[in-house]
Structure 1
């Protein structure tokens, strides 16, 4: 079995382990956040970790009401930006804990007055020596180059932080009790997803749409398709998609849509309807709602019991499996994409 598939299948075990190992650590960190009178939260990362940070940005602002943003690493690493970061929290997220640019941004953020937190899967990495506090994913070594289990472990960390900051401990208990089961149900449908993925083996281009909490899901799916399948996949907010990019759509440009039943659903429904009626677009729709899947033959119906708030960490497993099986159908080794290494320099 390929490492990528093996690590996808480890996720239902890793997520509760990540919560159990980190709850007390995160509780102390959240107490500090409140004591330090944090007024703004920033995130810095690259690759899949950056997509996890996009989720963290939405989720923490939604749960706790503090403004959030994604940092531009180059301003610190190349342009020597000096910003007043007093009362600012900076999350530096790096699976390896060794990405030089992220380490440099954390160092400079501390000098600028920020409270810094590192999130990594490597407790012996350099990020441990730099950040004020560190959270370890405890996901075990990831052998495949494409991140899967470390991505969902990063999401789990942000779920814990958001629930603890907002003092929504019952929601955290609900998360731990349900999410591993939901993910396991998706994994048990891998043959269904494999069948769908094989239909896209000749696709060179794809668009992946999400919105709100699931823009991160679209971004991570697109990255997985790029790195494992060598497909030019573009992730877009469904709202941004209508402001220009929809013009490139035709029958030869498939679209993947993540559409949980949350406040973004009606807009995604209207987008899918328009794609079908005006362009006869080939779509793969992932949703709990049958009403939106009527616009396509290719769909993954998620059980209705999956709460919309948990959709980013559940729905992405569909994207991971889709990318894995698409790579296999193209006779590409998903574990070792060309030109990539586990630790990226630059």
Structure 2
């Protein structure tokens, strides 16, 4: 086996911005307190029967996490809205009384903005999780929870995705009177700082995948949105054909790919999904899978800090993965900040 190419880009923006995560999350927790309390009060008064999310790319993966968060904490059913139903097909959905959550770093994508406007006009309670606070999306929504990331220059979003995971959590803590969640959110910046100490181990794990052409990413529950994001980042930054699967669904057909030697990366939770996920991974290892894991579960290949709550553990897992992904790109002799054919903001209609 030949030696890997030497990295030409030692400190890409992707890594620099990922390392800002503890500061970003601390700032968001402090500066959004009033906005989160205001939104929680509105949700108590208006009690939506269901919620829908609208987003693209990394933001949509954050919405997968929010779906599990809202459903597990509030028993509130959540669906993903197809933006083109309104913008291309011209259908105005009946969203009266619904909670509509739009997530966007830039707040500039016309299809997301137009769907929020439509939803608000139809009587929905609309919320924007957005980094650019004077954006069209922030103006269109009734409530805004700013991501508080500052400028994000890397094409591959990191800190804005992490901030999208956490922005709504103080609202859930207020609605559920969850002291454990409040405590975990307060301590999360310190946990993320500890996660950053895993960077050498993340780089070592990434090095063994430097020749991979394909990679399957597995997870369950609250970590599934992290797996979706991981698959996207592997495509963006390393040109690897990666796909995310539920660890529960993987045996229903996709398991066939193990016979082709496709490696697996699994997220290993320490929450209610832990035992089922561990059992699925054990079966895959017995079948001869090349499987490595990231997460707070004991024995993970890259063990992330437990943060004190199931809703905050995935944030540390995602940050650890970003360290892994950036170093994988470097091990492959690539610059994760310059993925071919991609730009920072994509505007869809």
TM-score range, shorter chain: over 0.9
- Counterpart contact for 2:73–2:176, Cα < 8 Å: yes
Q: CA deviation at 1:263?
A: 2.0
Length, aligned pairs only: 338
Q: Structure 1 regions of 5+ residues with no counterpart?
A: 294-298
Matched residue, 1:53: 63
Is 1:282 matched up with 2:290? yes
- Counterpart contact for 2:202–2:323, Cα < 8 Å: yes
Is 1:246 matched up with 2:248? no
Matched residue, 1:256: 265
Distance 1:330 1:302 in 2: 24
Q: Is the deviation greater in 192-201 or in 60-69?
A: 60-69
Matched residue, 2:39: 29
CA displacement, residues 276-329 of structure 1 (integer Å, 9 cap, x when unaligned): 222x221111244445x5xxxxx1123456543322111111211111001111
Q: Structure 2 regions of 5+ residues with no counterpart?
A: 1-10
Distance 1:7 1:140 in 2: 10
- Counterpart contact for 1:251–1:281, Cα < 8 Å: no
SS at the partner of 1:242? coil
Distance 1:288 1:123 in 2: 33
Q: Is the deviation greater in 214-223 or in 164-173?
A: 164-173
- Counterpart contact for 2:216–2:263, Cα < 8 Å: yes
Among 229, 232, 235, the residue aligned to 2:241: 232
- Counterpart contact for 1:229–1:334, Cα < 8 Å: yes
Among 308, 314, 324, the residue aligned to 2:326: 324
CA displacement, residues 200-248 of structure 1 (integer Å, 9 cap, x when unaligned): 0110100111101110111111111111111111001111112111111
Greater RCO (Cα-Cα under 8 Å, separation 6 or more): 2
SS at the partner of 2:229? helix
Q: What is the TM-score normalised by the length of structure 2?
A: 0.93
Distance 2:101 2:307 in 1: 32
Alignment of 1:291-310 (within 5 A): 293=300, 299-303=301-305, 307-310=309-312
- Counterpart contact for 1:182–1:306, Cα < 8 Å: no
Among 5, 26, 30, the residue aligned to 1:20: 30
Alignment of 1:183-198 (within 5 A): 183-198=192-207
SS at the partner of 1:182? helix
Matched residue, 1:217: 226
Q: What is the TM-score normalised by the length of structure 1?
A: 0.93
Q: Is the deviation greater in 269-278 or in 49-58?
A: 269-278
1:304–1:128: structure 2 CA closer, same or farther, 3 Å change rule?
A: closer
Find runs of 4+ consecutive structure 1 residues off by over 6 angstroms: none
Distance 2:230 2:151 in 1: 22
Distance 1:233 1:61 in 2: 27
Alignment of 1:112-191 (within 5 A): 112-177=122-187, 179-191=188-200
Q: How big is the alpha-carbon RMSD for the aligned residues of Structure 1 and Structure 2?
A: 1.6
Q: CA deviation at 1:24?
A: 0.8
